[in-house]
Amino acid sequence: MKPKEVLAFCREKNVKAVDLRFMDFPGVWQHFTIPVGKLNEDVFEDGLGFDGSSIRGWQAINESDMIVVPQADTAVLDPFAAIPTLSLICNIQDPITREDYSRDPRNIARKAVNYLKSTGIADTCYIGPEAEFFIFDDVRFDQNAHEGYYHLDSSEAEWNRGRDEKPNLGYKLRHKEGYFPVPPADQLMDVRNEMMHTMIECGFDVEAQHHEVATGGQCEIDLKFQDLVRMADAMCHYKYIVKNTARKYGKTVTFMPKPLYGDNGSGMHTHLSLWKNNEPLFAGGGYAGLSEMGLYAIGGLLRHAPALCALTNPTTNSYKRLVPGYEAPVNLAYSQRNRSAACRIPMYSSSPKAKRVEFRCPDPSCNPYLAFAALLMAVIDGIQNKYHPGAPLDKDIYDLPPEELAKVPKAPGSLDEALANLERDHEFLLRGDVFTQDVIGTWIDYKRKREVDALRLRPHPYEFCLYYDI
């Protein structure tokens, strides 16, 4: 829609309020709301002011004024607001220079797409993420000077087989057996159906919904691929819809990668392809039906994967998922069909239009704008420098002999290690001024101080199990 069409849509739908939304630096959606009467065509050009110093990782207090500029083509009716409310995603600008803000994640994603076009390699990058999440019935947690704990609960979880539920009907999912059982074992069918239907009503193309492998409410809903910025926008709505639908049912959702010990964590396997003049560029006659460009794209992803993880797996909790034995792609290799490789080439279809690369490391805690932009920059670097990924690894990686497995490169084992890799390897992200040195430095500093050090300095509950009686 164009601004005039948005205003006409507001009249048609009797909209009373307009919610202006944008993504903060770490990856949490922010908003403020104006009466619909305050929205006019000038607002789409001039924007509205807000305090940028109150947003994590953004402006200093002496440079706090910022502007949100609503984007008319992102208009969606909010499915949860009590009065008719229109949601508009905004770009962020400096009020003096009117330049797009370098730390605005959406701006970084837009610049990555523009850089792709400027190279002449392709004009479109399609992204298809598969975000997993947990739906719990109850959550309690706290951390202070003298205690630290968390408690999660789910009516379908294995640990509740013996609970007195008056009556306990016994349909509980065993660990690692949550993939595709029908109700009543799958107790979340209706919740996911409502999430799916709400996404469709909001204009998103949903391909499927299903229970995932873990017990305790692990789920997945898949959206059809879209161009990079559109998909990052869609993932913001995706999380909003999933969380608020669960809340209607008296349940809670987390996109933490590893909330449960001893069961599968939540990933966000991300499918990526490049197109030019409506023609797919990754299809060819090489391995798994890939073109030479497709192989070079994999080469770029694998070469930069240790640094990419700082953006695609950006939490300390991410590295409790990224361990061997839980279908997590810790080994930096590629293969057709093999889900234990970091890069997989899906073989569901022989159509050239379906040919893509799946990067399996990311998880849904990431900021989608930053993660997708970084993946594209690694792909471009691989193509420009013709980084061949070497021979594919079509064996079961987890059954390889130790001496053979030792030769396969590994993903970082911690957020601190991933940040160190990003510190060493980020020149490919700076090209085209997509990521700036300021953005990289701020990201590393923020993550180390607010997350790595914050966790490192606190006693862990399990340390008391290990060491209290020493």
Which residues participate in catalysis according to the annotation?
51, 130, 132, 212, 220, 269, 339, 358, 360
CA distance 356 to 158: 37
Full DSSP string of 338-378: -TTSSEEE--S---GGG--EEE----TTS-HHHHHHHHHHH
CA distance 175 to 111: 43
CA distances 379 to 232, 269, 301, Å, are 17, 16, 6
Q: Residue 216 region, left (φ>0) first, then alpha (ψ -120 to 50), else beta?
A: left
Query: Given 3-state DSSP classes, what are the helix, strand and coil percentages for the chain, each rounded to the nearest 5?
Result: 40, 20, 40
Question: Dihedral through CA 246, CA 251, CA 256, CA 260, nearest 10?
Answer: -140
Q: Measure the CA angle with vertex 421, ends 415 and 425; round to 5°.
A: 145
Q: Residue 297 region, left (φ>0) first, then alpha (ψ -120 to 50), else beta?
A: alpha
CA distance 198 to 132: 17
